[in-house]
Every structure is written in structure tokens, then in C-alpha cells.
Amino acid sequence: MIGCSRCDRRAVIFQRHSNRHLCKRHFIEDFERRIKLAVRKFKMIEKNDRIAIALSGGKDSVTLTYTLAKLYEKRRDLELFAITIDEGISNYRPPTVEIARKVAEQLGIEHVVVSFEENFGMTLDEMVKRGDKKPCTYCGVFRKYLLNRTAREMGATKLATGHNLDDETQTILLNFLNADMERMARLVPQRVQEGLIMRIKPFRYIYEKEVVVYGLLHNLPMDFEECPYSYFPVRASVRDFLYEFENKYPGRKFSVMNSFEKLIPCLREMYPQIDLNRCERCGEPTPKKVCQACKLLEELG
Ligand code: SF4
Ligand SMILES: [Zn+2]
Ligand SMILES: [Zn+2]
């Protein structure tokens, strides 16, 4: 038996970045400490917040919903609710929508399911057949649109997503490799913009592997199915590179995140907040005259 580095119990995980074996209790303590650290550092949760959680039903969002409920249920000034977007991806999305329903019900959290079909008159599968754009383009634009609109209409002050340290460091590195600093600036936490609900990422200091272990230790449903449209060859290379690098030199994902956070003041200066317009067609916030969702809908006829 491998023992915990902090007590006599059996270890459930080896944290390469801290070079420690941790038992269930000490791992959970450390996991939740880093969430609270991120929340405090970026003022993700403030007094009287009403937080919408983007709950897809995948492992990250399920664990996020559970953790936020556990850590903040005693705060009477806070409210949590969950939004699930059903894009309409046959065979892939229906089981995760069911997981989301069950998780929200078990945690006693208000939950709404919003579908592409009801709001745009067609599922993602149909969009892909009709249009010439990549599935993820339609999916990303319409999902963000519905999440933001639903969160705002339901009175949310923040929108929490399950992006973890692995997701974030991949995106940071990708933006560097593409020399896309404008996109990088969009990763800056708490970039408040008119009409947009502020996004928060409480898992920004949590490795993906830790999300899985935490979920399994709490018997949460862990869905590992991959979307049939998932095709990100460049991101996959960056992911593999970071994985190997982290394996050889543990803790480097934290270094990437640290470097990014040191750049935040520069990014804020280089790309200051812009005043958003209201889309001429749907009224949603957009930097242009017509929002991206309305443009795509026009193309799709
Ligand atoms: S991989 Fe699937 S779920 Fe993810 S953005 Fe693309 S189409 Fe949407
Ligand atoms: Zn221990
Ligand atoms: Zn619009």
C-alpha cells in the first residue's frame, strides 16, 4: 500500500506537480482549496451572486456543479442554477442531457434545458447538413449565444464553466502559436462587457485528471464519450505536447498559467473593453451591427 504523504491513510492519487501521494481526505481538501483560491483571486463569486452553471452533463461540468453546491450551499446570499444546452447531436447529447437532469435533481438545483431546435428551428445535425461551415463553428456560436441569453434572462450575475487547467493551458499555448493576442485577451478573467454575463472558471487551477479522480471518489457520473464532430488536430498536438512536457517536468501547466496571469495587465491595456452594440435583428450584444448567430442563421436559410 502506498501511504499518503500527509497522514497514515492509503493514497488515492499521486500528484506529480507537488510530488505527493494523497489520501482521499487530503486530496479533496487540496482540490477544494485550489478552487477557493481561484475564486478569491479573481473575485469569481461575490456577495448576492446568482450563478448560472453551464452543465453539459460531461465530467467537468458535473463535477463543477457538485463542487459549487458543496462549497457554497451554506451561503444564504448565493443562488445556483444550471443550464444545459441541447445542440441536437444524435446519440451523443441525449445521454448527457439525462445525466445533467439527474445531477441537478439530486443536488436540488434549479435546471433548464435549452435546445437549438426550439430556438433556431433546427438541430446541429441539420445545420451541418445544410451549411458549409464546420460543426464546431455552429455549435460554439449558438451555444454561447443561448448560454448567455438564458443566463441573463434568468437573472444570473455570473456564468460558471468547467474549463480546467488542461483546457486553459492548451488555449493559451494555441493563442501564442497563432500569434492571436486578441483572442488571448478574451481569456482574461472578469472582462466585464455590457450585456454579457461574466464568465468564471473555478477549475482553472485543477488538472483534468484531478477532476476525474474527484468525480469518481464522489460517485458522480463520469461521461467520457467524445462528440462525433470533434476534430481539432492542432489542439490535439498542443494537448499531447503539454502532456509529455508535464510528464517530464511536472508542474509546467501551472507555469504556463502563471505566465499568462502575469500578462493580464498588458492584455487589458492592449485590448481595452469595447462598447457592444445591440444586434439589429435579435437585440443580443455584439461588437458588430448584426451578431454572429444571426449571420449564421441567415446563411442556413
Ligand atoms: S466537438 Fe461537438 S460539442 Fe464540441 S464544439 Fe464541436 S460540435 Fe460542439
Ligand atoms: Zn492523508
Ligand atoms: Zn443577432
What tens-digit pLDDT sequence spans the chain (301 residues)?
899 999 999 999 999 999 999 999 999 999 999 999 999 999 999 999 999 999 999 999 999 999 999 999 889 999 999 999 999 999 999 999 999 999 999 999 999 999 999 999 999 999 999 999 999 999 999 999 999 999 999 999 999 999 999 999 999 999 999 999 999 998 987 666 778 999 999 999 999 999 999 999 999 998 889 999 998 899 999 999 999 999 999 999 999 999 999 999 999 999 987 888 999 999 999 989 999 999 999 999 8
What separation in Å is there between the alpha carbon of 11 and the centre of ligand 1? 36
The identity of residue 172, as a single letter, is I
CA-to-CA separations, 19 to 10, 14, 15, 35, 207, in angstroms, rounded: 16, 7, 6, 20, 14
Residue pair 184/176 in contact by the 8 Å Cβ criterion: yes
In angstroms, the CA 196 to CA 166 distance is 25
Measured distance CA(70)–CA(52) in Å, rounded = 15
CA geometry: angle at 225 spanning 223 and 201, to 5°?
60
Ligand located closest to 297 CA: 3
Residue 136 Cβ < 6 Å to ligand 1: yes
d(CA 127, CA 129): 5
Which ligand lies nearest the alpha carbon of 30?
A: 2
Ligand 3 centroid vs 278 CA: distance in angstroms? 8
Residue nearest to atom 6 of ligand 1 (CA): 136
CA-wise closest residue to 166 among 212, 207, 225, 223: 207
Nearest alpha carbon to residue 168 among 198, 202, 136:
202
Residue 15, in any domain of the structure: no
Three-state secondary structure call for residue 128: helix
The reply to whether 299 falls in a domain is no
Length of the chain: 301
Coil, helix or strand at residue 288: coil
Residues with CB under 5 A from ligand 2 (ion): 4, 6-7, 9, 23, 26
Domain extent at residue 115: 42-225+235-271
CATH of residue 198's domain is: 3.40.50.620
| CB distance 137 to ligand 1 below 6 Å | no
Rounded to whole angstroms, how far apart are CA atoms 23 and 29? 10
CA distance 6 to 279: 55
Residues 6+ apart with CB under 8 A from 175: 181, 183, 184, 187
In a domain? residue 79: yes
- How far is 15 from 23, CA to CA, in rounded Å? 11
Nearest CA to ligand 1 atom 7: 136
Q: For residue 289, how far is the Cα from the chain centroid?
A: 28
Domains of the chain: total: 1
Inside any domain, residue 23? no
How far is residue 115's CA from residue 281's CA, in Å, rounded to a whole number?
A: 20
Ligand in closest contact with the CA of 235: 1
136 C-alpha to ligand 1 centroid (Å): 5
| CA dist., res. 282 & res. 237, Å (int) | 38
* Per-residue model confidence as pLDDT tens digits over 160-182: 999 999 999 999 999 999 999 99
In the sheet that 198-200 helps form, which strands lie side by side, from edge to edge? Answer: 110-115, 79-86, 50-54, 158-160, 198-200
54 located within any domain: yes
Is 286 contained in some domain? no
Q: What letter does residue 223 receive in the DSSP assignment?
A: -
Could you tell me if residue 157 is inside a domain? yes
Q: Could you tell me if 93 and 135 are in contact, meaning their C-beta atoms sit under 8 angstroms apart? A: no
Whether 277 is covered by a domain: the verdict is no
Does residue 27 contact residue 17 with C-beta atoms inside 8 Å?
no
